[in-house]
Amino acid sequence: MSSLSLICNTAVVAGVVSGVVALIIGVILGAIVYKFLINKKIDKSKTNAVKIIEEAYAEAKSIKKESILEAKDEAQKIRDEANLEAKERRSEIQKQEERLDLREEYITKKEQTLDAKSEQLESDKNLLENEKLKLQEKSKEQEEIKNQMLEKLEKISGLSKKEAKDLLIENVTEEAKKDAGVLIKRIEDETKENADKIARDIVTNAIQKCATDLSSEMTVTSVALPNDEMKGRIIGREGRNIRSIESATGVELIVDDTPESITISSFDPIRREIARLSLEKLIIDGRIHPARIEELVEKSTKEVEKSIKEAGENACNDVGIFNLNPELVKVLGRLKYRTSYGQNCLKHSVETSIISGLIATELGANVAIAKRGGLLHDIGKALDHEIEGTHVQIGVDLTRKYKESDEVIHCIEAHHGDVPFHSIEAVIVQVADAISSSRPGARRESFENYIKRLQQLEGICNDFKGVEKSYAIQAGREVRIIVKPDEINDNDAIFLAKDITKRIENEMQYPGQIKVVVIRENRFTETAK
């Protein structure tokens, strides 16, 4: 029993040991298989990692290449912009150099003129000194001769020196009065004739030398549209676009039934110009919305401001004035967008300055003061819609603010006769202003009013009996009337001209004068056979 039990126990132990050994073997085999799989997976991961690294390297190389190309493009762009800016800067510097050269040339000519005048004055002074010495010597000789003659006359006449002197003075006085009266009359007549001739020559030469372009301009109040559909786009949904334009520019847009056109209304010509430029840009661009409107209005404002500055500088260069205050130059440039009776105020100011300088040269007045006063005489018109007061008073206050000389300020305040003239330069500016304003073509009136005035003038003439035709010519300053020769004789023609003149004076309002010419013609025709 015990042996059997022992055998059984041994068998059990052997089985247990076998199981344990088998388990250990299995574990070892599992570990070996697991390690094999792990190593295989690690190898695969290494392979994938190498592949990923290669792909990343290739991608990085591509990105680097693209970055280098983009950097090169950006560098080229920056280089082009820098070259453009440098070119513009060189252009600006060149312009400044040209202006400096002009100024230097002007100063050189002025110095040469002054040197020549100085030499001439010195020469004249020496001549006067010599003439003075000669006169003194002749005076001594004449005094001696006079004394000798007096002694002889006293002996011959038997009169004392005092008696002879009184008698001679009486006779000479009477004779001198007669001669003086005739001489004074002749001198007065010659003076009047010569003065008129000299004045006409001076004015004629000044106008001839000026020879400026026609300065009459039309104020732009409307913008052409490519089609009527554009009106709706400008108005926008619920009117938001047109409100944005009016708010940004300070003008009023009038959209009516006029085909393919929008009217701009504003008392400020600069605002009107900004609005016009902005609308034209919007029409070309095609993108019309509040944000784009504000952007283009700002751009147009800068363009107009630049144009104003350049206009002022060009005006100063045209007349040879180079030391004007920069703020006055800007205000002067604003006159480019200001008109008076259709005449551009800036061109009128330049023209007045040139004519003033020419007249001052002829009369020997101060040319610099005359030209400066002529250029600035209407500068108050650039601000008269912004500041209360006449353009004369505004101009005086403005130029006094920027330290202009009293002589120039007086030219401004006296050019309309508001104050008495205290200098010849002020008179010259007033005359030059009148010449520039009154020359043919300088100013215009409303076309409709002009046509109505001519029609009224011809209508008055045609109402008279015996008038065949009438023609208003010379812009309404002359009317020529052709009468029927069988109804109106020569004497009747004289009275007809007087009657028409009186009726024109009573029924019409017109500047200046209207010349009435009555033409009576008889034609006698024969035919030779």
* DSSP tag of 220: P
Q: Are strands 478-483 and 515-519 parallel, antiparallel or unpaired?
A: parallel
Mean predicted confidence (pLDDT) in 72-78 = 86
Q: Does residue 2 surpass a pLDDT of 50?
A: yes
Greater model confidence, 472 or 221:
472
Residue bearing tokens 């107009």: 304
Mean pLDDT of 325-341: 84
* 219 SS3 class: coil
pLDDT at 202 over 60: no
Question: DSSP code of 237?
Answer: G
Amino acid type, 448 = E
Confidence band for 217, pLDDT divided at 50, 70 and 90 = very low
Return the amino acid letter for 244: S
Length of the chain: 529
Confidence of residue 212 (pLDDT cuts 50, 70, 90): very low
Which tokens belong to 396?
Answer: 């005086």
Q: Average of pLDDT values for 228-248?
A: 84
Residue 218 pLDDT greater than 60, yes or no: no
Across 323-345, average pLDDT: 83
Q: Rounded to an integer, what distance in angstroms lies between the CA atom of residue 163 and that of residue 154?
A: 10
User: CA–CA separation, 501 vs 460, rounded Å?
Assistant: 10
pLDDT of residue 41: 80
Considering the chain, what percentage of its residues have pLDDT values greater than 70? 81
d(CA 205, CA 210): 8
* Angle, helix 326-334 to helix 391-401, in steps of 10 degrees: 160
Which range in 41-50, 351-360, 502-511, 514-523 is most confidently predicted, on average pLDDT? 351-360
The two three-digit tokens of residue 297, written as one number: 């209005």
Q: Which residue has the higher pLDDT, 196 or 346?
A: 346
Q: How many degrees, rounded to 5, is the angle at CA 211 between CA 209 and CA 215?
A: 145
**Tokens 């040879």 sit at which residue?**
320
User: How far apart are alpha carbons 27 and 22 in whole angstroms?
Assistant: 8
The closest of 465, 514, 506, 505 to 486, measured between CA atoms, is 465
Condensed to tens digits (0 to 9), the pLDDT of residues 21-34 reads 888 887 888 778 88
Secondary structure element (H or E) that encloses residue 166, with its range: helix 161-210
| Band of pLDDT at residue 436, cut at 50, 70 and 90 | confident
Per-residue pLDDT, 210: 47
- For residues 60 and 388, the model is more confident at 60
Q: What is the distance in angstroms between the CA of the first residue and the CA of the last residue of the chain?
A: 193
Summarize the confidence of residues 375-388 as an average pLDDT.
80
Q: pLDDT tens digit string along 483-507?
A: 998 888 888 888 899 999 999 988 8
- Token pair for residue 263? 């009217």
Predicted confidence (pLDDT) at residue 206 exceeds the cutoff of 80: no
Strand arrangement of the beta sheet that strand 252-254 belongs to? 222-224, 261-265, 252-254
CB 463 within 8 A of CB 514: no
Cβ(358)–Cβ(205) below 8 Å: yes
Q: How is domain 447-519 classified at the CATH fold level?
A: GMP Synthetase; Chain A, domain 3 (3.30.300)
What is the band of 177 on the pLDDT scale with cuts at 50, 70, 90?
low
Cα distance between residue 231 and residue 263, in whole Å: 11
Mean pLDDT on 177-188: 64
**Residue 420 in tokens:** 């008495």
Task: DSSP letter for 218, please.
Answer: P
pLDDT category at 198 given cuts 50, 70, 90 is low
How many CA within 13 A on the CB side of residue 276?
18
426's CB contacts (< 8 A; 6+ apart) are 373, 410, 411, 414, 415
Q: Taking residues 456-483, what's their average pLDDT?
A: 87
Domain edges within the chain = 222-438, 447-519
Give the integer Cα–Cα distance in Å for 102 and 92. Answer: 15
Check: CB of residue 203 under 8 Å from CB of residue 431.
Answer: yes
Q: Return phi, psi of residue 261, to 5°.
A: -160, 145
* Residue 141: C-alpha distances to residues 130, 135, 250, 515 (Å): 17, 10, 87, 66
Over 70: is that where the pLDDT of 512 sits? no
CA distance 265 to 269: 9
Confidence class of residue 432 from pLDDT cuts 50, 70 and 90? confident
The position carrying tokens 């300020």 is 409
Q: With bands split at pLDDT 50, 70 and 90, how would you rate the model's confidence at 157?
A: low
**Residue 482 is inside which H or E element, if any?**
strand 478-483
State the number of CA atoms in the 13 A half-sphere of 347 facing the CB: 17
What's the mean pLDDT in 59-74? 84
The interaxial angle of helices 2-157 and 161-210, nearest 10 deg, is 150
Domain 222-438 identical in fold to domain 447-519? no
Q: Which CATH architecture has domain 222-438?
A: Orthogonal Bundle (1.10)
Determine the pLDDT at residue 200. 52
For the cut 80, the answer to whether the pLDDT of residue 327 exceeds it is yes
94 confidence band (pLDDT: 50, 70, 90): confident
How high is the pLDDT of residue 483? Answer: 92
Task: Provide the greatest CA pair distance for the chain.
Answer: 221
User: What's the predicted TM-score (pTM) here?
Assistant: 0.45
Strands 467-473 and 343-344, by their bridges, are unpaired
Average of per-residue pLDDT across 427-453? 69
Instruction: Find the mean pLDDT for residues 234-238.
Output: 84
Where do runs of H (alpha helix) occur along 211-338?
229-235, 240-249, 269-285, 290-319, 326-334
φ, ψ of residue 402 in degrees (nearest 5): -100, 25
The least confident of 60-74, 76-90, 101-115, 181-195 is 181-195
Distance, in Å, from the CA atom of 101 to the CA atom of 98, rounded to the nearest integer, reads: 5
Q: Mean pLDDT for the chain? A: 80
pLDDT category of residue 518 using cuts at 50, 70 and 90: very high
- The two tokens of residue 477 are 């300053």
Say which range, 66-75, 197-206, 280-289, 501-510, has the weakest mean pLDDT: 197-206
Q: How confident is the model at residue 524 (pLDDT cuts 50, 70, 90)?
A: low
What the block records as the tokens of 436 is 């520039």
C-alpha of 437 from chain center: 17
C-beta separation of 519 from 483 below 8 A: yes
pLDDT number for residue 258: 75
- Of 454, 478, 458, 477, the residue nearest 469 (C-alpha): 458
In degrees and rounded to multiples of 5, residue 528 shows phi and psi of -80, 130
The answer to whether the beta carbons of residues 500 and 466 sit under 8 Å apart is no
Whether pLDDT at 306 is above 60:
yes
